[in-house]
């Protein structure tokens, strides 16, 4: 969640549980922080870019990705496991007539394993509230002007479900290798605030 929660009731309860686990020998001091750091170190937008590039070159993978993203991403050695249970991943595809954008209106839920740590603007109250009410206006502020006939779908992430956008493949990239295609994909493209 965004903001400093160092003095919150929940923060105190979490620290209390950590101390109990440490005092009973179930955790070493600092083990939770170490595991969180390890998890975050593996999360990068390059992971999401690899998924997109594979979908662009392999229509069967793209179909599986859109039908059951959690299973499909395992094919490229990735997963949404990062806590006690695997989070549900839904991948939504941009088309010539539909553009998708992701937000978490309540906090900043986000597929860290596939996109790396979330950018500060994603966590901002301005983005979270405005992209739902005026998605075209917010996208224009990011420099993305969509044709009038393109519909915009806003996907609201939650603690259980995360979303990632499958951007449209850029024209003129037919001869490019998968690695070259992955290099074109940005975190903003995976969130839907930019085209690729």
Whether 1 maps to a domain, the answer reads no
The answer to whether the CB of 107 falls within 8 A of the CB of 1 is: yes
Q: Are residues 77 and 26 in the same domain?
A: no
> How confident is the model at residue 11, as a pLDDT?
64
Contact predicate 109/159, CB 8 Å = yes
pLDDT score for 168: 98
- What is the mean pLDDT for each group of 10 consecutive residues in the chain (196 residues)? 47 76 79 62 87 98 98 93 74 98 89 90 93 97 96 94 97 96 98 97
| Claim to verify: residue 79 and residue 152 sit in the same structural domain | yes
146 belongs to a structural domain: yes
Q: What residues act catalytically?
A: 104, 107-109
Q: Tell me: do 29 and 57 sit in the same domain.
A: no
The predicted structure's pLDDT at residue 83? 54
pLDDT at res. 7 = 47
pTM score: 0.79
């Amino acid at each position: 969640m965004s903001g400093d929660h160092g003095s919150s009731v929940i923060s105190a309860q979490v620290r209390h549980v950590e101390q109990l686990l440490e005092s009973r020998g179930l955790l070493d001091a600092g083990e939770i922080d170490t595991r969180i750091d390890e998890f975050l170190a593996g999360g990068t937008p390059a992971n999401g870019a690899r998924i997109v590039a594979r979908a662009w070159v392999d229509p069967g993978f793209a179909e599986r990705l859109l039908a059951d993203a959690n299973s499909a991403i395992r094919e490229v050695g990735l997963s949404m496991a990062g806590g006690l249970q695997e989070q549900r991943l839904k991948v939504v595809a941009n088309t010539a007539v539909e553009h998708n954008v992701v937000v978490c209106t309540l906090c900043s839920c986000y597929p860290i394993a596939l996109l790396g740590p979330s950018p500060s603007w994603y966590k901002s109250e301005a983005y979270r509230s405005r992209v739902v009410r005026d998605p075209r206006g917010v996208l224009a502020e990011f420099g993305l002007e969509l044709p009038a006939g393109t519909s915009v779908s806003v996907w609201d992430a939650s603690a259980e479900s995360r979303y990632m956008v499958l951007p449209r493949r850029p024209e003129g990239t037919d001869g490019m290798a998968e690695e070259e295609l992955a290099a074109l994909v940005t975190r903003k493209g995976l969130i839907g605030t930019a085209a690729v």
